[in-house]
Structure 1
Amino acid sequence: MDRKAVVRAMRYIWPGEPHDVDDAELESLYRYPADPRWLAVNFVSSADGAVEIDGRSAGLSNPADRKVYELGSDLADVLLIGAGTATIEDWRGVHPDEETAERRERHGLSPVPPVAIVSTGRSLPPDAPAITEAVTPTIVITSGSAPPATRQAWADAGASVLVAGDETVDLPAAVDELVHRGLGRIDCEGGPRLFGALLAAGVVDELRLTISPLLVSGAAERIALGAGLDPTALRAESVLAEGDTLLVRYLLARKQG
């Protein structure tokens, strides 16, 4: 696949005048702001809101989605993901290609961003490829209720274990610790339960949503799951199109406190 050919077919459609988008402009749109802490969430969904086909998101993705998905991780300090998604999607850490390496060097970023996996301790085995095959040590974010033996097994497998919260994972505290470690540009890549928890915690700054031109129906999950929250207002920041695929960036108001 010619990645540049995908970009030439992409159109900026709102706000302002529609026009073709080149590599430089696309990178500018999806780069992180100067804010020392910015958490962007990436999702692809069908037109009727499904986030998976046969249990995985790959069936919804396409070249346009993969292009912005790659920019999210290429320009981030750390990738944040739920343990269930890491297992289902068979994550194996970040292994950059030449284009990614050049982009990260140009932006003054580390060669390989670490992956931070949120786990209660029940769904992330210590021999998970996301830990054992990662180039940069994976950060496992968990709570004090995770069994000490499990935490030690993660560490023995090469992970850095970050304990945030006592009974459950304290996501604001975890994000604060990532920022303290110099990992303030955070790219969250799912899943729906983690996104729902991040929304409830008020720590999401941006939603990057690809709407795939498919109808799925059935009982597929949607992008955010959890106990529910007051409707959260979104502000559209940009809309692009590539063929029949829409790529929308929304901003959220961060909670204070």
Structure 2
Amino acid sequence: MSGKSKLRRYRLILEYDGTNFSGWQKQVNVRTVQGDVLKGAARVFGEVPMDLQGCGRTDSGVHALEYVAHLEVAADMGPHEVARKLNETLPKDIAVRSVEAAGARFHARHNCIARSYVYQIRTEKSAFGKRYDWWVQADLDLPAMQHAGSLMTGMHDFAAFAEKKELKKSTRVLIHNVEVFKEKEILKIRVVGSHFLWHMVRRMVGIMVEVGCHRLTEEDVQNMLEDHSNALPSHHTAPSAGLFFEKAFYDSEGLAELLKE
């Protein structure tokens, strides 16, 4: 490819199975989604200047349904050709759902106003569920879980849910909504927030399951939200396999549409 190609920015929507990845963010000596997409882009465009930024971090083992990223690269290709060529070269556990031309000011993370995650739980064993849900061997009290989720809604200091290294920065997070609902045999928990701390959604889910098993009370949940000592037990963290990054929001209308559903 000619070195005279101008820098172009593309908006990518990616889908990935996070089972074999150490999260989104590129790291040394481990496989990550950002790292694999950059390798694929280098095969498509050649060794030219490029930058790839995602809408946020996802933890090791977490999946994504509509993960937004932007790719800035010296290229002359149209979006449809970029999508086709990336899909031809990327590994089978990453798919490019769509590619659009993006303005120079679009930033996948900085322009994102909210994100939603969905967690999948089964109370009956499935031969196909291990990679994509959490098998909880108990009868869950759904109304109790829904109420526990409602306690977490709003602006809270989630210091008790944070990693110790995150305590140097603000641990306040706005949770727009928490839903608990069933689709056939799968129990789903959707969490919509401005952003999330490391493992935060999985800890929220773990606590809600403890409430659903009647091992924690709603008062316990309230105390956790008021306790800023960073003392949440690790066993309250749900496994990563059941967690899916669902959607990134870039305008208030799209966010409002989801919240009123």
**What's the TM-score, normalizing by structure 2?**
0.25
Tell me which of the two structures has the higher relative contact order, counting C-alpha pairs closer than 8 angstroms and 6 or more residues apart.
1
**What's the TM-score, normalizing by structure 1?**
0.25
Higher strand share: 2
